[in-house]
Amino acid sequence: MRLIESVSEVQAIADAERAAGRRLALVPTMGALHAGHLSLLREARRRADRVWASIFVNPTQFNDPRDLDGYPRTLESDLAVCQEAGVDLVFKPTAAEMYPADSQTWVDVGELTLPLCGASRPGHFRGVTTVVSKLLLAAKPHVAVFGQKDFQQLAVIRRMVRDLGFDVEIVGAPTAREDDGLALSSRNQKLGPEQRRQAPCLVRALRAAEQAVAAGEYSAAALLQLVRNEIAKAPVARIDYAELRDPDSLVPAPARLDRATLLALAVWMDPPQAAGAAVRLIDNRVLQLQGDSQ
């Protein structure tokens, strides 16, 4: 497994691999790798001859400098995960390599970035789309794999790739979960014991809505009330957003669902007795109506 820090060097390797007729897959990450990332790397392996991972804590997608400073940096264990997954190359650029001092260029997707996490984190997606563009231009993959847990991010990246004509296939891999259903995330390690115990309220809320739709409940208001009621059973949980949206355009769902609909959640898990830090978790489910194709 090769560890590369230079954009020009990784581009030269990509050119050589492509010239040799090998298909390249890239899994972009910010490190702190866990079993969810392993599932993305395995999906990439199924789709390509060479699997590359990038590890870069992207400063431009953080709204709060404290979040950037506190983001876990675990290179040694990250490389061990990549080795276990059979990764062929790890691209680990520095911030200066990705953002030279005189950088003036940003990639900004419009309306898709405004709701949901975009409303809570202004400027976040501009940082995401800019860095993903840079990673795609550096690694030149045929396919790039992202997790469906970050549903809005996946939708934004797909739109960016389509609009700008990137020659790459964007694959969304299913969300990997803990045994109790909690979506795997690097943020989970920040949860205290009581926060972690109550965190599966997100997946219980998603399941409750899914079961209600399966039973014929298509009222958006009723489904969102069901979600809020389920989240309220966890005393430390505080909803950032709970919304029903079109899975492609992310526009709000109609008052009565008439097609497959995204249910997106972001929930703050507050520390009991204000001891510790609040942790923001996200999750989602595409609710399939009767007769919808799966």
Across 31-52, average pLDDT: 97
Q: What is the pLDDT of residue 67?
A: 87
* For residues 17-46, average pLDDT: 97
Residues 6+ apart with CB under 8 A from 150: 282
pLDDT for 294 beyond 60: no
Q: Above 90 in pLDDT, residue 149?
A: yes
The 237-245 sheet, strands edge to edge: 237-245, 261-269, 279-287
Res 151: pLDDT: 98
**0.75 cut: is pTM over it?**
yes
pLDDT category of residue 64 using cuts at 50, 70 and 90: confident
Mean pLDDT in the chain?
Answer: 96
Helix (H) or strand (E) holding 135: helix 124-139
Task: Report the alpha-carbon distance of residue 68 to residue 85 in Å, rounded.
Answer: 27
Quote the pLDDT of residue 43: 97
For 120-131, what is each residue's pLDDT tens digit? Answer: 999 999 999 999
**Residue 143: pLDDT above 50?**
yes
**Letter string b/e over residues 55-91, b meaning 16 or more CB atoms within 10 A of that residue's CB:** bbebebbbeeeeeeeebeebeeebbebbeebebbbbb
Q: Judge whether residue 140 has pLDDT over 70.
A: yes
CB atoms within 10 A of CB 263: 26
Average pLDDT, integer, range 233-256 = 98
Task: List, for residues 270-280, the tens digit of each pLDDT value.
Answer: 999 877 899 99
Neighbouring-strand partners of residue 25? 51, 143
pLDDT digits (tens, 9 = 90+) for 82-111: 999 999 999 999 999 999 999 999 999 999
- Looking at residue 275, its pLDDT comes to 75
| Whole-angstrom distance, CA of residue 239 vs CA of residue 14 | 43
- Say what the pLDDT of residue 136 is: 98
Q: List the catalytic residues.
A: 37
Q: With CA atoms as reference, report the closest residue to 95 among 136, 61, 141, 124.
A: 61
Distance (Å, rounded) from C-alpha 30 to C-alpha 56? 5
Res. 41 pLDDT band, cuts 50 70 90:
very high
Q: Which domains does the chain have, with CATH numbers?
A: 2-173 (3.40.50.620), 186-285 (3.30.1300.10)
Give the Cα separation of 32 and 30 in Å (integer). Answer: 7
Tokens read off for 31: 């490190």
Task: Give the neighbor-by-neighbor strand order of the sheet with 50-55.
Answer: 2-4, 89-91, 50-55, 24-29, 143-147, 169-173
Q: Which residues pair with 170 in a beta bridge?
A: 144
With cut-offs at 50, 70 and 90, classify the pLDDT of residue 292: low
Share of the chain above pLDDT 70, in %: 99
Tokens (6 digits) for 134: 């840079």
